[in-house]
Structure 1
Amino acid sequence: MKPGDHPDFYRLAPPPGASRESTIRLDKEGRFWHDGERVEHQAMEQALRSWVASHPDDGRPILTNGYDWCYFQVDDAPLFVSALHVSGDAATLVLFDGTEEALDPAVLSLGVDGVVYARVRGGKLEARFSRHAQTQLEPLLVNAEPPTLALGGREVVLPARTASGSGERTTHRPTG
C-alpha cells in the first residue's frame, strides 16, 4: 500500500521546509519545464506525464507518484491526446502518458483557436488534442460548420470550450 492510498494523503502538510507549490510548468504544447528550463530527460518527462492528477479537494492539477505530491502550473490543459484510434463504431484516445480511454464524442469541445479538447479520467481532467490526434478525427467528421462528429450511431456537434475547460453540451442526433 502506498501512502497515496490513504484517504488523508492529499490533506497532509508538506515535509518541513517544503511547499506543495512547485515551479514545474506544463506548456500548451505538452512540454514540461522546471525552474524555467525545459525538462529534456525523456524518462523524467514520461514520469511527469504519468503523475498528472487533480487534487481531490480543490480540483487543481497536481503531480503525484503515490509517495508525495505537489501542485504544478498548467498553461492550457493538464493532459494531451497524442493519438486517436478509430475502429468501426468505436474510437480510443491515447493520452500523452500512454494510457488509453474510449472516446465519447459528448466529452469533446472546441477551443477558440480551433483546437479540440476532451474531458478524460472520468471527467476530472481536460486533455488538449495534439495536431496529429486532431487530424485523426477526420474519418468521424460529418460536417465542418458547425463541427459535427459521428460515432456509435449518433452525431455530436462540438460545443465551444468554456473558460472552465468544459464545453456546454449541445444536441445529440441519431445517425442512420
Structure 2
Amino acid sequence: MKPGDHPDFYRLAPPPGASRDSTIRLDKEGRFWHDGERVEHQAMEQALRSWVAVHPDDGRPILTNGYDWCYFQVDDAPLFVSALHVRESGTTLVLFDGTEELLDPSTLALGADGVVYARARGGTLEARFSRHAQTQLEPLLVEAEPPTVSVGGKTVVLPDRRRAG
C-alpha cells in the first residue's frame, strides 16, 4: 500500500522545510519546465506526465507518485492527447503519458485558437489535442462549420471551450 492510498494523504503537511507549491510548469505544448529550465531528461518528463492528477479537495492540478505530491503550474490544460485511435469498438484517446482511455464525445470542446479539448481521467482533467491527434479526428468529422463529429453513434457539435462544462 502506497501512502497515496491513505484517505488523508493529500491533507498532510509537507515535509519539514518543503512546500507543496513547486516551480514546475507545463506549457501549452505539453513540455515541462522546472525553475525556468526545460526538463530535457526524457525519462523524467515521462514520469512527470504519468504523475498528473487533481487534488481531491481543491481541484487544482498536482503531480503525485503515490509517495509525495506537489502543485504545479499549467499554462493551458494539464493533459495532452498525443493520438486518437478510431476503431469500430470505440474511439480512444492516447494521452501524453502513454495511457489510453475511451473518448467521451460529450466532453469535446473547441478553443479560441481552433484547438480541440476533451475531458479525461474520468472527466476530472482537461486534455488538449496535439496537432497530430487533431488531424486524426478527420474520419469522425461530419461538418466543418460548425465543427461536428460523430463518435459511437453520437453526433456532437463542438461547443466553445469557454462555455463548455
TM superposition score category, shorter chain reference: over 0.9
User: Are the equivalent residues in 2 in contact too, given 1:89–1:151 (CA < 8 A)?
Assistant: no
TM-score for the superposition, normalised by structure 1:
0.92
Q: TM-score, normalised by structure 2?
A: 0.98
Q: For the structure 1 residues 45 and 59, does the alpha-carbon distance in structure 2 shift closer, same or farther, using more than 3 Å as the test?
A: same
Partner residue in 2 for 1:39:
39
Q: Distance in 1 between matches of 2:136 and 2:45?
A: 24
Trace 1:1-176 onto structure 2 (pairs within 5 A). 1-88=1-88, 90-162=90-162, 167-168=164-165
Q: Deviations over 1:62-97 (max 9, x none)?
A: 000000000000000000000000012621100000
What whole-Å deviation, never above 9, does each CA across 1:14-33 have from its counterpart, x for those lacking one? 00110000000000000000
Counterpart CA distance in 2 for 1:93 and 1:31 is 19
Moved >4 Å (runs of 4+): none
Whether contact under 8 Å (2:104, 2:119) holds in the other structure is: no
Amino-acid identity (%): 85
How many residue pairs match? The answer is 165
* Separation in 2, partners of 1:155, 1:51: 33
Structure 2 CA distance for aligned equivalents of residues 29 and 121 of structure 1: 19
How many Å separate the matches in 2 of 1:65 and 1:83? 24
Counterpart Cα distance in 2 of 1:11 and 1:89? 40
Q: Distance in 1 between matches of 2:33 and 2:54?
A: 19
Gaps of 5+ in 1: 169-176
Q: Deviations over 1:2-51 (max 9, x none)?
A: 00000000000000110000000000000000000000000000000000
Contact 1:83-1:94 within 8 A present in 2 as well? yes
Structure 2 unpaired stretches of 5+ = none
Distance in 2 between the 1:154 and 1:2 partners?
40
Provide the alpha-carbon RMSD of the alignment.
Answer: 1.0
How many angstroms apart in 2 are the aligned matches of 1:127 and 1:67?
Answer: 25
Task: Please list the CA deviations of residues 84-139 of structure 1 after superposition, one character each: whole Å capped at 9, or x if unmatched.
Answer: 00012621100000110111211110000000000111110000000000000000
Instruction: For 1:23, give the aligned amino acid.
Output: T
